[in-house]
């Protein structure tokens, strides 16, 4: 059985970077027990009021950012889609009481294609995206992951793609190797301890009890994919820890 994964996708420039997080993602396939037959990515960059699943036969590449170097806009990740898997996933969500919609026009945003391009640059594994529902909070996303967990037995890799820390108001002007400030480290360490110690109820309430929670996540969308991976998997194991630009913790975890 494949684990589920939480991946921090960082800035779009990670796709062209030599940072430790990029090197980790290039090694990611070797850390899995088998090659996925398909991948479902819950990305922080697709927010909808209810669950949506992309159902394109072939994925388009969405460059959902601006102001970055021109070579970044030349990258494409036109991986195949899997409409049958999207329908199967929607059925699992319906069984759990969550009605999902299929989207036949949605491509892959950089929350999906940046890490996947580093891990599987051939773009030959079918990929579908799952939207998040930011207003519904962590427990809803745990439930999303639990509903999709049977797909792990079918060779499907379930990925939550977000960021361990994510306050972009501090991003501009920082170099990629800028040291992390204390307020970033405090939250990153607290969240890691809560996760590996199995304190799920504390993670669900992170907004109220974690140190510097709102400072690291002024909005919640980049932390919520963690809960999809957590719900879909088992015991957590940290795969990677680093920072880019000081304020983006690039931690990654496997579940199960």
Alpha-helical (H) ranges within the chain are 20-27, 70-74, 83-95, 110-119, 137-148, 182-196, 200-204, 206-209, 213-216, 224-232
Rounded to the nearest integer, the mean pLDDT of the chain is: 95
Structural domain span for residue 226: 4-255
Tens-place pLDDT, residues 6-49: 999 999 999 999 999 999 999 999 999 999 999 999 999 999 99
Percent of the chain past pLDDT 90, that is, above it, reads 91
pLDDT for 214-228, tens place per residue?
999 999 999 999 999
pLDDT at 173: 62
Our count of domains for the chain comes to 1
Residue 192 and residue 50: Cα distance in Å, rounded? Answer: 29
The reported pLDDT for the residue numbered 160 is 98
Question: How does residue 170 score in pLDDT terms, banded at 50, 70 and 90?
Answer: low
Residue pair 37/86 in contact by the 8 Å Cβ criterion = no
Q: What pLDDT does residue 113 have?
A: 98
pLDDT tens string 95-137: 999 999 999 999 999 999 999 999 999 999 999 999 999 999 9
Helix (H, G, I), strand (E, B) or coil at 56: coil
Average pLDDT in the 165-188 region?
A: 82
pLDDT tier for residue 168 given thresholds of 50, 70 and 90: confident
CATH at 151 = 3.40.830.10
Q: How far is CA 161 from the centre of its chain?
A: 1
Give the per-residue pLDDT at 27: 98
The structure's pTM equals: 0.95
Neighbours of 248 (CB within 10 A): 30
Q: Is the pLDDT of residue 171 over 80?
A: no
d(CA 156, CA 38): 5
């Amino acid at each position: 059985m494949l684990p589920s994964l939480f991946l921090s996708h960082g800035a779009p420039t990670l796709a062209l970077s030599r940072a430790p997080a990029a090197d980790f993602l290039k090694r990611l396939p070797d850390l899995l027990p088998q090659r996925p037959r398909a991948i479902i990515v819950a990305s922080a960059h697709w927010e909808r009021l209810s669950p949506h699943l992309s159902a394109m036969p072939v994925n388009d590449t969405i460059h959902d950012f601006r102001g970055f170097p021109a070579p970044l806009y030349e990258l494409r990740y036109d991986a195949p889609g899997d409409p049958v898997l999207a329908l199967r996933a929607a059925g699992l969500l319906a069984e759990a009481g969550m009605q999902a919609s299929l989207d036949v026009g949605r491509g892959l945003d950089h929350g999906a294609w940046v890490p996947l391009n580093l891990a599987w640059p051939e773009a030959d594994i079918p990929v579908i995206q799952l939207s998040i529902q930011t207003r519904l909070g962590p427990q809803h996303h745990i439930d999303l992951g639990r509903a999709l967990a049977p797909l792990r037995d079918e060779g499907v890799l379930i990925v939550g793609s977000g960021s361990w820390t994510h306050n972009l108001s501090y991003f501009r002007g920082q170099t990629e190797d800028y040291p992390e400030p204390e307020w970033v480290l405090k939250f990153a360490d607290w969240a890691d301890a809560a996760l590996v110690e199995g304190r799920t109820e504390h993670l669900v309430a992170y907004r109220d009890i974690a140190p510097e929670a709102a400072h690291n996540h002024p909005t919640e969308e980049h932390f919520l994919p963690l809960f999809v991976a957590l719900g879909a998997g088992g015991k957590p194991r940290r795969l990677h820890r680093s920072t880019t630009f000081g304020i983006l913790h690039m931690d990654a975890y496997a579940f199960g």
